[in-house]
Structure 1
Amino acid sequence: MSEEHGFSTRAIHAGPPADPAYNAVTPPIYATSTYSQDGVGGTKGGYEYSRSGNPTRTVLEECLASLEGGRHGLAFASGLAAEDAVLRAFTGPDGHAVVPHDAYGGTYRLFARVYEPWGLGVTPVDLTDLEAVEAAIVPEKTTIVWVETPTNPLLSVADIAGIADVAHAAGALLVVDNTFASPYLQQPLALGADVVVHSTTKYIGGHSDVVGGALVVDDDALADKLRFHQNAMGAVAGPFDAWLTLRGLRTLAVRMERHSDNAQRVAEFLEGHPAVAEVIYPGLESHAGHVLATKQMRRFGGMVSFRVKGGEDEAVAVCGRTKVIILGESLGGVESLIEHPGRMTHASVAGTRLEVPADLVRISVGIEDAEDLIADLDQALRG
């Protein structure tokens, strides 16, 4: 599938032939652990053991690579498994990494409670401040600058191209977690990133029915190193998980358009609500990163965060009063989800430099009718 084809066309058709045996339109689920060989040390179709490679997973990996504008995709059992492979491949006990000061709680937990005890130095920094990023880099030790944009849950927007220049000048790799934007809304490799990370559980899968992760790179050497760790560590996507993720990926463009439409309307409604102290959404002109987001994103995505007047107790109460919007962790599914980050997804950063405001509420805006979502939030905020 040529890169000249549009995004939605590639989302449906990119990758090797779905079914060379019977020409099925939908890729088969190759539920096998091993493959017959045509001789000792020889393979018939390039596959020998499904930890190392599986035809269903290959279709997903090649499609993801095409959509991110890279040459190599790797699918994992979860987003954190994908992150772990990056850290194992490109850091060491005497190394150093720069991370967002408002990173996803699970990412920070991996850095601070798994890799810091191992010996990795970790410095959280405000990624919207390029001078601060440059100052946080330790010469000859920093191997990774880790970016989320927009961040989870404070939706900060980082200048990918600007940080790429800073990281590369210091000899570090730029890793961009593109989960919130998805490849439809943002293309980090084109802006200078070396590695793109996804929790495919979220928008790429899109239906809250599968857990997965992915890496995409364009450089052959980086791909070889990551692929070695993918195989050696073994946290790969199984064939059914790969199939579910690929099924979701095929509708990514239309879903992201609806997510973005609904989120814009929800954010504008919340911005005028008397019970709301602040709305955080890159699509609002009041957002500090709005102009930058306009330049490096196609749309502004489906995530909206807001701060509630009345503090933590009222924020928790609002989360419990919605009726259409489901109280639950995760994000990126067709259904809208609401949560209190301080007590739920970001409880792991409580008491650290990354602790989130206690009055913060995060919504993953789904693809329901926007009027129903707005009415539900209105009644929840009014109590």
Structure 2
Amino acid sequence: MTFGDSTRSVRAGSASPGQPGQPFLPGPVFAAPYHLDPVAGPQPGVDGYGRTDNPTLRALESAIGDLEGGECVAFSSGMAAVSAVLLALLRPGDTVVVPADGYFLARAFAQESLPGVRVLLAPTAGPYPSFDGVQLVLLETPANPGLDVCDIASLAAQAHEAGALVAVDNTTPTPLGQRPLELGADLSVASASKALTGHSDLVLGYVCATSSELAGRLRTWRARTGGVPGPFEAWLAHRSLGTLDLRLRRQSENAAAVAELLAGRPEVSSVRWPGRPADPAYRIASRQMRRIPGIVTFTLPSKAHVDAFLTTSELIAAATSFGGLHSSADRRAQWGDDAPEGLVRLSCGIEDTQDLVADVTAALDAAARTAA
């Protein structure tokens, strides 16, 4: 039987049928060393040491793999996952293409921490360079924070024809919003700290691969470098997956309403949300994505205007990251991102839509009076 998103999210990584007397989701297993056979020593398939072996982590990886459609390797953060892809798969003399407008720390890492690797920058919406001589193409779609979108299937086909691997940062849409591996990517990489787990209470990352060979290379890299999640974080993440569909649905509804409100405000010079027919990314996003995430990016006239907006709002917390239950926003320029002073990335939470719209309206009105 083919199940819907909410059913898949609730049951991802769970044993079926359940065993009498056992919980729906077993609690985290805390262990550094495990008991070994005193004579035979380490045995295949038997847990031996916590950096490489943990049943709680395996359950989470099984769950995310179910949703992404590939073999999952979890990491201690999204940046640990991105850096693992770049460092484990590239060698001096290789060439990698990275987003010019994606998450700025991933771009900075590629440019500063890959000795001997040539780094080419390409805007998410294009144009792209020739992939001849390229070993890896890293995409981020929708891009963070500008929310441009690229055609994964088309770019993956071009990259594979040239002999390159394709990795897609799937943080913003999550596997319920977009399935890069089905669209031709070799790897789907993400920060699970954000919408996937959605409760703003853990830091986690992962990579899903289409082949066991690629997953094995990443798993070996993780074992050697130590970027493994703790069992409690893995358990929290698995617990959070059950509400993923419900959370994303409300966040997307809220983003649609907020984007329409912002588009009608005279002080807002730009609004980006790929679900709006007027958005430049709408055509590709509506074809490629299964749902549009709850992120809206917009531009106010100045830093002072943003400050007044965030200070006045009752429902929007000033915070970085995104995808949580609570609506939050940050002014991207404060992080050293290459962004206009008034650019705001707003992450819509799961508040009642009418309450959030009313709050954003009131905060914008108050900010306009203050700026005047």
Tell me the amino acid that sits aligned with residue 40 of structure 1: A
Question: Does the aligned pair in 2 maintain the 1:10–1:63 contact within 8 Å?
Answer: no
Secondary structure of 1:236's partner? coil
Gaps of 5+ in 1: 350-354
Superposition pairs of residues 216-365 of structure 1, within 5 angstroms: 216-308=208-300, 310-344=301-335, 347=336, 349=337, 355-365=338-348
- Structure 2 SS opposite 1:182: coil
Quick check: 1:128 aligned with 2:125? yes
Counterpart check, 1:381 vs 2:364: yes
Verify the 8 A CA contact 2:101 2:146 in the aligned structure 1. yes
Deviation at 1:248, TM superposition (A): 1.1
Q: Residue 372 of structure 1 corresponds to which residue in structure 2?
A: 355
Which amino acid is 1:333 matched to?
G
Equivalence for 1:68: 68
- Name whichever of 102-111 and 180-189 sits farther off: 102-111
Verify the 8 A CA contact 1:36 1:44 in the aligned structure 2: no
Q: Counterpart of 1:119 in 2: which secondary structure?
A: coil
User: Could you state the TM-score of these two structures normalised by the residue count of structure 2?
Assistant: 0.93
Summarize deviations over 1:283-339 as a string: whole Å, max 9, x none. 11111110111111122110000111x234323432333221000111111000011
Deviation at 1:44, TM superposition (A): 8.2
**Which residue of structure 2 lines up, in the alignment, with residue 167 of structure 1?**
159
1:378 aligned counterpart, secondary structure: helix
Kindly indicate whether the alpha-carbon contact (under 8 Å) linking 2:102 and 2:124 is maintained by their aligned counterparts in 1: no
Give the AA of the match of 1:92. R
Query: Per-residue deviation at 1:146?
Result: 0.7
Instruction: Give a deviation string over 1:157-211, Cα, whole Å, max 9, x none.
Output: 1100011012111111110000100011111000001000110000111100000
Q: Does 1:207 align with 2:205?
A: no
8 Å CA contact 2:251, 2:349 repeated in 1: yes
Q: After TM superposition, give the deviation of residue 45 of structure 1 in Å.
A: 5.2
Give how far 1:214 is off.
Answer: 0.6
Instruction: Please state whether the residue corresponding to 2:27 is helix, strand or coil.
Output: coil
CA contact (8 A) 2:317 2:329 kept: yes
Whether the 8 Å contact between 1:36 and 1:43 is mirrored in structure 2 is no
Question: Quick one: which amino acid aligns to residue 377 of structure 1?
Answer: V
Kept in 1, the 8 Å contact 2:124–2:141? The answer is no
SS at match of 2:333: coil
Q: What RMSD in Å do the two structures reach over aligned CA positions?
A: 1.8
Distance across 1 between alignment mates of 2:324 and 2:99: 25
Q: Report if the CA contact (8 A) 1:96-1:121 is conserved.
A: yes
Aligned partner of 1:103 in structure 2 is 102
Paired amino acid for 1:378: T
SS of the residue corresponding to residue 222 of structure 1 reads helix
8 Å contact from structure 2 (residues 272, 298) kept in 1? yes
AA of the residue aligned to 1:307: T
Match runs of 1:19-34 below 5 Å: 23-34=22-33
Aligned sequence identity (%)? 38
1:8-46 deviation digits (Å, cap 9, x = unpaired): 333222336399795221222101112112343344853
Which range moved further: 167-176 or 318-327? 318-327
Is contact 1:322-1:380 (8 Å) kept?
yes
What SS does structure 2 have at the residue aligned with 1:183? coil
Q: Which residue of the partner structure matches residue 11 of structure 1? A: 9
| 1:275 positional shift | 2.0
TM-score normalized by structure 1?
A: 0.90
C-alpha distance in 1, partners of 2:45/2:153?
40
SS, match of residue 181 in structure 2: helix
SS of the residue corresponding to residue 266 of structure 2 reads coil
Counterpart Cα distance in 1 of 2:54 and 2:14? 12
What residue number does 2:370 align with? none
Of residues 372-381 and 239-248 in structure 1, the stretch that sits farther from structure 2 once superposed is 372-381
Partner of 1:91: 90
Q: How does 1:23-62 map to 2 (within 5 A)?
A: 23-38=22-37, 39-43=39-43, 46-62=46-62
